[in-house]
Amino acid sequence: MLLVLLGPPGVGKGTQCRMLVERFDWQVISTGEILRRAMREGTSLGQKAREFVDQGQLLPDGIMIELVRDALPLSTIRKGCLLDGFPRTIPQAEDLAVWLKSLPAQLDAVIVLMVDDSELRRRMLQRAVEEGRSDDTSDAIAVRLETYHRQTAPLIEYYRAQGILHEVSGLGTPAEVQKRIVECIP
């Protein structure tokens, strides 16, 4: 089983992935978490990531593609896996398709969480107070939202055309959102 959780910054992808992993004992590959850990540890990936993440910009596709290929062997997909934060551009989605074909494996569903931008801003500014994530500043949030609409939202039509897209409202409590997501899992 391989699922993608797609959606704008602050919509609840991480929250929902953590809940799904507890429920199904799957693995989650969160590219944002991998980059934040590398930044904390000061590795060469972390140093590179900092140039982009703190500004709210995407890292180059080549870096992300290599990172996900390494993290996504066939054995992980067989056990069940969630992708949080990847793919985020059409080239990333195309490369994922090539990688899956080579394994061979397939993407079972893409779930896109939707919430309006004002609620997204509210959630991220609230998290800034609670957790102090380095990209939860109002400047970086503005860039992340604009980047989402320009570079990531086209994936919605890309996956709709493949017949594997499920659109889910991200409003309500995390438990309510979780219920909607579980109903979409094939």
Residue 77 or 178: which CB sits closer to ligand AP5? 178
Site for Mg ion in 32-61 (CB under 5 A): 32
Residue 32 touches ligand AP5, criterion: CB under 6 A: yes
Site for ligand AP5 in 52-111 (CB under 6 A): 52-53, 56-59, 64, 85-86, 88, 92
Q: Residue 5: how many CA atoms within 13 Å on its side-chain side?
A: 32
**What is the end-to-end Cα distance of the chain in Å, rounded?**
9
Among 1, 14, 21, 125, binds Mg ion (CB under 5 A): 14
Residues of this chain that interact with ligand AP5 (CB under 6 A) are 7, 9-15, 31-32, 35, 52-53, 56-59, 64, 85-86, 88, 92, 123, 127, 135, 144, 172-174, 177
Catalytic residues: 13, 88, 127, 133, 144
